[in-house]
Amino acid sequence: MLTEERIDEIDGEPSSEWLALCEGVENWDRAKILALRTCFTLTALEEAVPYNAHEKHHRKALELQLSRIAGRAGDPWPWGKDKTEQERENRVRGIVDPLDITAALQSPECPLRFELFMVMIKIKKLDDAHPMDIERWMETFKIWRAFVRLAKLRIQQHKVEQANKPPSGWQIANSIETEIDAVNCSKAILAAPADALARVNAYRVPRESQSVLRAALDQAENADCANPTCDGWMRKNLWREEECAVCQHTSERTLEFHERAVAYVVACLDSGRSIEVGGRALSVETLPRLPVAPKADDDAVSVG
């Protein structure tokens, strides 16, 4: 018989049934919906499922194509003792084996076909999914008791795996950066592998431990920071620019800050304001060693 499905398959043109599904849908989304009608196996349909499968138009399209696949297969209901719709519905809510789910979906008698299909997809993704995603799936399918049990088991397995998993380079680097005791921080630096040390932000390390980090990174011979008040050293950043590992300024930027500070001090002296450095009155000879000067409203400015 020349059914709409057969005409669609021969001519390659969407049937009126599929065109009706796409009414009011944007062109870019319409193409994804119509692509589903060429998926005549569960595997092909699974690969074509859009990210917004629960959206009204996509859901209707998936439900339609799942019915067409079941009609083509025409397999009998695998559990012959399920005589009523309610018994079959209770059955599908309790199965998690992908083979059982596939057998159920290929039968025209399968209830809750769309939900069962989506559960099958999530079950296949459980092993690689993040626990936060699994928690969200459990909320979506909370009345599917078998899936919820399986998801909870996977979360527990993930916790065990994480507990037995050695710390990553990022985790080691974070522990070094958050250690406020210089002695403990230095010990952690000396015990850390090279890949973890490469991720450590030197400016977050206690000042007393920065020289230890510098030596551990084999950067002891690197030039010192251009800022005399910084204990950092120069190394290349992600853009291959020479940058201080501690203050994270290039030599040009440090010089710019220095020139600003000198200009600030000169302006203060010219205006008759007094400036003290460490409790001592500033002289012109100290200007080249002056760090960046803070803003102040008082006539007396103390520079740390």
**What would the pLDDT profile of 225-254 be if each residue is shown by its tens digit?**
988 888 899 998 878 889 999 998 888 888
Which among 234, 231, 209 is positioned nearest to 219, based on CA atoms? 234
Of 136, 164, 192, which marks where a domain is finished?
164
- Ranges 78-92, 119-133, 246-260: which has the least confidence: 246-260
Which among 264, 268, 259, 267 is positioned nearest to 288, based on CA atoms? 259
Tokens 């799936």, residue? 137
H or E segment at 244?
strand 242-244
Whether residues 103 and 125 fall in one domain: yes
Whether residues 106 and 181 fall in one domain: no
Cα 32 to Cα 21: distance, rounded to the nearest angstrom? 12
pLDDT tens readout for residues 27-66: 878 888 888 888 889 999 999 998 888 888 899 999 999 9
Task: Evaluate whether 2 touches 15 at the Cβ level (below 8 Å).
Answer: no
pLDDT computed for residue 227 by the predictor: 84
Rg of the chain over all Cα atoms, to the nearest angstrom:
34
Whether residues 69 and 107 fall in one domain: yes
244 domain residue, yes or no: no
Whether residues 35 and 145 fall in one domain: yes
pTM (2 d.p.): 0.60
pLDDT tens readout for residues 259-299: 887 788 778 877 878 777 667 777 666 665 545 444 445 55
102 domain residue, yes or no: yes
What end-to-end distance do the CA atoms of the chain give, in Å? 92
H or E segment at 177?
helix 169-177
- What rounded mean pLDDT belongs to the chain? 86
Task: Evaluate whether 246 touches 232 at the Cβ level (below 8 Å).
Answer: yes
Domain range for 218: 169-222+231-236
Greatest alpha-carbon span in the chain: 103
215 domain residue, yes or no: yes
Whether residues 116 and 148 fall in one domain: yes
| Phi and psi torsions of 300, nearest 5° | -95, 125
For the chain, how many structural domains are there in total? 3
